Structure 1
Amino acid sequence: MDNDLIRLILGMKVRRLRQQAHFSLQDLAKKTGMSASYLNEIEKGKKYPKAEKIMSLADALSVGYDDLVSLRLEEDLGNLTPVLNSPLIQKFPFKLFGISAQDLIQLMARVPREMGILAKVLEDMGHNYDMRVEHFFHTALRSFQIINHNFFADIEKTADRFRKTRGWEADRIVGFDELLPVLKEEFGVTINLDCLADHPTLSHMRSVLTEDNQLLLHHALSQPRQAFAIGREIGYRLLKAEERAYSSPPLEVGTFEEVFNNFKASYFASAILLPRERLFRDLKSFFKLSFWDAEAFRNLMAGYKVTPETFFYRLSQLVPHYFRSKRVHFLKFERGAGESRAKLVKQLNMSNVHIPHGIGLKEQFCRRWLSLYVIDELEAEPEKDMVIGVQRSRFIEHDSEFFCISVAFRGMLDPNHYSSLTLGFQVDAALRKTVRFLPDPKVPHRELGQTCERCPLTAEHCQERVTEPTLYLEKKRRAEQLSALKQLRAGVSTAATTR
């Protein structure tokens, strides 16, 4: 148990014993010779007094010294024990959202029994859905990104300084050839492309950093992927990330700082590879086209020599900032060849539309989603290396429309594994003003739901449906039952009054 929690436990005990004795802070101050403000700091868990002062507190509160300093909580506070010992409380980044663990625990101490029950409920839910602390970390990070519209000026400035100190023009496209010497000469990291792919257990890894400063890269990585890995490694070092992941993907997550630093290093890499002012001008020109041009969009991506994922994610950073389109969502789906269910593996939802996701979600996403259309098209046309699509999507239950751009591509290590990336922009006055080709009749319009299980469209109206609307029907049935119950109770009440 860390020092913060030790102070908090002592503070909770002092506060509870003082209240039981019907002492005010001033009363206790007179009995102990300490100031009321200092006692208040003790009760809040901000101060831990020396032994002689603890002895004075114990005497004034009529308890033993050992009872006061013991980490064991009394019965009325005992329900907080699982909360205090929870990795979520000890590791969650409360400060990121303007609060501290102490603030939360002080709130819990006011109603320990109820908070203990709530903690048990949350713990059971976590076990039932196999939720680990790292899932909470990633959720916290996404919330932080949404609050900031996924744009972080401090990292952008760090990337600008990095490029400037190397004499690279602001608009210059840099990649593997430029970044490799920097990593080796300035940070003493060498690249090894030979051993990772042949490792008996870790051949699925994209990169691993060894203790002797070798960055092992899978030899199947394209140069754009290698450039991103190098840029991220430089980012770790420039941002002075002490807690970090040493493999990609990470096999385990110990702290939120690891998740947060991985995000910041990855953001830094994308900012180096896709200079924002140049990309802003290129996007502005592209959006001025009078019609949708998939080939022009492909050429735009290719000009930056990055992966589709890096390009799309960079757009999710810059579009809300530069084009005043705050309602944006980024989605990444994956599916194996011949499989019917696609998995949503990454998402950043800054829109007001609920996108079902999470651990244990077994539902079938709506087949009218552009994300799934482009994967199906790519699988049906094996001669293509990539499929780019566009669509105006109107969500039935939310009555909101989004303009979506998607790209599908084959897996880096497994060509029978497909991925798609989608950026969705809510259609509003700002978007209509920005994107001239929005009214292009060649851009398909589709009405869609969230998942087949939740969708009100019947098979007659939706040929793409792959399973029954079980959740929608259950929701409808429950609403009918509640309405019938309300009417029945009103009828019984009326009959009873007339007798």
Structure 2
Amino acid sequence: MALNTENIRLVFGLKLKQLRLDKGMSLSDLSQKSGLSISYINEIEKGKKYPKSDKIVALAAAMDVDYDTLVSIKLSKRLEPISELLSSNILTELPLELFGIDPANLLELLSDAPTKISAFIGTLIEIARNYNMSVEQFYFSALRTYQEMHDNYFEDIEIAAEQFLADRSISDEMILDERYLADVLRKDFGYSIEDINDKTHPGLHGVRSLIIPRPQANRILINSQLTSIQRAFEYGREIGYQYLKLKNRLHTTALVEAESFEQLLNNFKASYFAGAIIIKRTLLVQKLKGFFALDTWQPDVLVDMIRYFNTTPETFCYRLSNVLPRHFGIKQLFFLRFSNFSGQNRFEMTKEMHLARKHNPHTVKDEHYCRRWIALNILQELAEQQPAKDSTSILCRSQISHYVDTADDYFVVSFAKGMATSEHLNVSVTMGIYLDEDTRKVIRFLDDPTIRRREVNETCERCRLFNCKERMAAPTVLQKRRKNEELRKVIHRMIQEN
């Protein structure tokens, strides 16, 4: 087990405290037997100090254990989960300060109630194993939480993006494209740009871009199947890395290479920067105000907006999640991305984000997502239209979804499009806006009768809409929950009667 100095202090403190408690000794008892002060022993147990050899000898003698037992970094079975946590790089790599957590306070919490905290950590580790969660997925979940905490809006990056545009005298009306951003990379940052050769490097198939650092000039290799719009975003993100001076970085778009939380965070910052220079917030806010003021739902206006900004539906929706909370007061929303192979009835949620509260829907393992969701219906519609429809076309559909279990209403907008880099793979991106009084004041067309209204739920396995024609599976989770509730009622009633 590889531990840094801080964690070695904590391990020693945890062992000392557990041994003392096992022997029924108070701090005062240990102080009297060892000759060390209560305050000093307390500092040791909290991992703040590591005693010198003579003091370790005194502590070992006072508790009737040998020296090697006390200094060994091996923890007891009860504390093994804490040991596993400390030996991982999570505590050292994850910048806890971003989440308002003082690392010193966390270590003190571990030392204050080690057995209870150990049980809790063990539970989290077991859940992660059951769901095959890797360290990279843990970092990604932490990043998503960080975004949600800040309403996915970062003023410092917005200002940096606007400064970049101002430095180059780029007007609001000028939309940055692949050619312009490629020139910036070459002329301002000395990059060379090449296509990825699938024949020479077949392992790079599906990778959008690869950065090869060089002392003189970095090389950026681009997937030749990417559209011009996708290339523009890749170049914009690389400019973000350079302009924001982000050193610890990913070299590809494949998140599996992530070795630390900082790399994922920097990748997010660079991507946010790319979105901000391509879809300028001042211009986007102006256009959204006009759209929300319409009396009727007009999906073509949104699709035209995406084409105007020379972007993809996903980047556009993601940019909406940046500006809606800050500039329109719409803070209750979710963002989802689903993938589906044309002709198949299997849908995978590949990205999700929830602002302000944990909305439905969210990722559920081994269950069938509600087939009434517009996010899935639009993928089925797209598959039916292919290959007759232009592969570059974008479908846009909307729905007001009423969740039967929570009675929450959402205005949901979905876009669907085929993937240029993968044959027969279609993707939908969805923005769901919680409907409260404030939102209804902002969006005028919500009463348009052409917007479909449907009762929906989370998954078939949890749904009480028994007459649903779209059901894909029996409500097994719901049935089990009701059976347990009925059992609790029977037990309670029998106890009360006696």
TM range (shorter): 0.7 to 0.9
Displacement of 1:9 in angstroms is 2.9
Structure 2: how far apart are the matches of 1:79 and 1:414? 41
Displacement of 1:289 in angstroms is 1.0
Once the two structures are superposed, residues 360-390 of structure 1 have per-residue CA deviations (whole angstroms, 9 ceiling, x without a partner) of x121111111101111111111233321101
Displacement of 1:61 in angstroms is 3.3
Task: Describe how 1:402-421 pairs up with structure 2 within 5 A.
Answer: 402-421=410-429
Comparing 118-127 with 133-142, which one deviates more in the overlay?
118-127
Q: Provide the secondary structure at the position in 1 that maps to 2:447.
A: coil
Comparing 373-382 with 67-76, which one deviates more in the overlay?
67-76
Task: Describe how 1:254-403 pairs up with structure 2 within 5 A.
Answer: 254-350=259-355, 351-358=357-364, 361-382=365-386, 383-384=388-389, 385-403=393-411
Comparing 112-121 with 253-262, which one deviates more in the overlay?
112-121
For the pair 1:474 / 2:480, whether they are aligned, the reply is yes
- Counterpart contact for 1:208–1:217, Cα < 8 Å: yes
- Counterpart contact for 2:334–2:359, Cα < 8 Å: no
Change (3 A) 1:257 1:487: same
Change (3 A) 1:490 1:68: closer
For the pair 1:436 / 2:444, whether they are aligned, the reply is yes
Once the two structures are superposed, residues 1-20 of structure 1 have per-residue CA deviations (whole angstroms, 9 ceiling, x without a partner) of 22221232344466678888
Match of 1:488 in 2: 494
Which of 246, 249, 259 aligns to 2:254? It is: 249
Once the two structures are superposed, residues 144-198 of structure 1 have per-residue CA deviations (whole angstroms, 9 ceiling, x without a partner) of 1111111011111111111111221245321212211211122222111252576
- Counterpart contact for 2:403–2:409, Cα < 8 Å: yes
Displacement of 1:346 in angstroms is 0.3
Change (3 A) 1:128 1:153: same
The letter of the residue matching 1:367 is: R
Structure 2: how far apart are the matches of 1:432 and 1:391? 15
Match of 1:129 in 2: 131
Change (3 A) 1:271 1:488: same
Structure 1: how far apart are the matches of 2:81 and 2:366? 35
Match of 1:190 in 2: 192
Displacement of 1:45 in angstroms is 3.5
Q: Provide the secondary structure at the position in 1 that maps to 2:171.
A: coil
Displacement of 1:478 in angstroms is 2.4
- Counterpart contact for 1:83–1:116, Cα < 8 Å: no
Q: Provide the secondary structure at the position in 2 that maps to 1:292.
A: coil
Between the two proteins, what is the percent identity of the paired residues? 33
Structure 2: how far apart are the matches of 1:184 and 1:197? 26
Q: Provide the secondary structure at the position in 2 that maps to 1:367.
A: coil
Displacement of 1:72 in angstroms is 4.0
Structure 2: how far apart are the matches of 1:122 and 1:319? 34
TM-score after normalising by structure 1:
0.88
Q: Provide the secondary structure at the position in 1 that maps to 2:451.
A: coil
Change (3 A) 1:292 1:481: same
The letter of the residue matching 1:106 is: E
Structure 2: how far apart are the matches of 1:76 and 1:176? 57
Q: Provide the secondary structure at the position in 1 that maps to 2:151.
A: coil
Structure 1: how far apart are the matches of 2:360 and 2:91? 27
Displacement of 1:284 in angstroms is 0.3
The letter of the residue matching 1:418 is: N
Aligned-residue CA RMSD (Å): 2.9
The letter of the residue matching 2:180 is: E
Structure 2: how far apart are the matches of 1:308 and 1:196? 27
Which of 426, 434, 451 aligns to 2:459? It is: 451
Match of 1:496 in 2: none
Structure 2: how far apart are the matches of 1:35 and 1:298? 69
Q: Provide the secondary structure at the position in 2 that maps to 1:247.
A: coil
Q: Provide the secondary structure at the position in 2 that maps to 1:311.
A: helix
Which of 418, 434, 441 aligns to 1:426? It is: 434
Structure 1: how far apart are the matches of 2:118 and 2:343? 47
Match of 1:54 in 2: 52
Match of 1:8 in 2: 10
Task: Describe how 1:62-211 pairs up with structure 2 within 5 A.
Answer: 70-73=72-75, 80-196=82-198, 199-211=201-213
Displacement of 1:455 in angstroms is 1.1
Structure 2: how far apart are the matches of 1:26 and 1:475? 50
Change (3 A) 1:40 1:168: farther
TM-score after normalising by structure 2:
0.88
Structure 2: how far apart are the matches of 1:76 and 1:465? 45
Displacement of 1:242 in angstroms is 2.6
Change (3 A) 1:376 1:10: same
Structure 2: how far apart are the matches of 1:211 and 1:292? 48
Structure 1: how far apart are the matches of 2:324 and 2:80? 50
- Counterpart contact for 1:149–1:317, Cα < 8 Å: yes
- Counterpart contact for 2:46–2:107, Cα < 8 Å: no
Displacement of 1:482 in angstroms is 2.6
Displacement of 1:294 in angstroms is 1.5
Structure 1: how far apart are the matches of 2:134 and 2:394? 35
- Counterpart contact for 2:93–2:262, Cα < 8 Å: no
Structure 2: how far apart are the matches of 1:152 and 1:141? 13
Q: Provide the secondary structure at the position in 1 that maps to 2:445.
A: coil
Aligned residue pairs total 481
Structure 1: how far apart are the matches of 2:222 and 2:329? 38
Change (3 A) 1:299 1:83: closer
Q: Provide the secondary structure at the position in 2 that maps to 1:438.
A: helix
Q: Provide the secondary structure at the position in 1 that maps to 2:488.
A: helix
Q: Provide the secondary structure at the position in 2 that maps to 1:441.
A: coil
Match of 1:497 in 2: none
The letter of the residue matching 1:327 is: Q
The letter of the residue matching 2:482 is: K
